[in-house]
Amino acid sequence: MTTDHFSKVAPVAKKYAAILFDLDGTLIDSTPAVIAHWTQFGKDYGIDPALILATSHGRRTIDIIKQWRPELANMDYVREVEGRIPKEHAADAKELPGTRTLVSSLHKTRAKWAIVTSGTSALAEPWVKLIGFPRPEVFMTADKVVNGKPDPEGYLLARKQLGLSKTVEPPADVLVVEDAPAGIRAGKAAGCDVLALLTTHSREEVEAAGADFVVEDLESVEWLGGDEDGILLLINPTPPPTVSVLQLGPKLINEVLPN
């Protein structure tokens, strides 16, 4: 354990030009619906659903279908099957802790924010409506990009549509909020700071993907103020499991807390 270890759990106040959110696993949790969808797909086409689910989260349906049944991989088919999910599993989606407070504050102050999701508009738009979240003006879905996460295309397009110029706002002045390694890598590839939520993956997985901050959920993010010119946040990182300081030897204590 080093001083750098402690810097990763210290609260951080930072102003961002915009916040770009993933949807499922970040703002909402529709895990039961997703599991039901891919389980049925696997049964229909003779594929072990566990193999599909092992790598499906955070990726576009069309990219997953390309992997398992490439002959079905067209956007019309994807929209049709994804459009059924909110209709058949509406009760299986819920908002995640802290999300409503943050997105409502962004919406009310006209701050710049967007949703960048691996779901198509046929899936993502109904989820947002069913949960009752405000809809951002910039809503990037799987059918609006050529390349899905971990490619940064969606996040780069969202920046552009929000009117953010790299010459005025460096990429790191935009915060991406994600839960899946594929999305974290996309945010980092876009040059943004990435806040990872521990809602679907382990700390080891999100840290390996390159997350700058790790929190349990959005209740660890405090809204300090915002408007069209920027958003001030206080991020309270979730500390990793550690041994008690009392269990550390004197040598290690002196290393971490020098005289």
- Write out pLDDT tens, residues 32-57: 998 998 899 999 999 999 999 988 87
Stretch 172-176: mean pLDDT, rounded?
A: 91
Q: What is the CA radius of gyration of the chain?
A: 19
Indicate if 179 belongs to the active site.
no
**Ranges of H-type helices in the chain:** 3-7, 31-45, 49-56, 61-68, 75-88, 99-108, 121-131, 153-161, 181-189, 203-208, 250-256
Partners of 113 in beta bridges: 19
* Active-site position among 22, 143, 179, 212: 22
**Cβ atoms of residues 214 and 206 within 8 Å:** yes
The Cα angle at residue 231 between residues 184 and 139, in degrees rounded to 5? 55
**pTM of the complete model:** 0.84
How many other β-carbons are positioned within 10 Å of the β-carbon of residue 101? Answer: 14
> What pLDDT sits at residue 168?
58
Tokens of 196: 């990872």
Q: CA–CA distance from 253 to each of 7, 169, 247, 249, 256 (Å)? A: 16, 41, 10, 6, 5
Partners of 196 in beta bridges: 178, 214
What is the set of domains in the chain, with CATH numbers? Answer: 12-28+93-235 (3.40.50.1000), 31-91 (1.10.150.240)
- Write out pLDDT tens, residues 157-167: 999 999 996 66
Indicate if 24 belongs to the active site.
yes
- Write out pLDDT tens, residues 7-34: 567 999 999 999 999 999 999 999 899 8
What DSSP character marks residue 168?
A: T
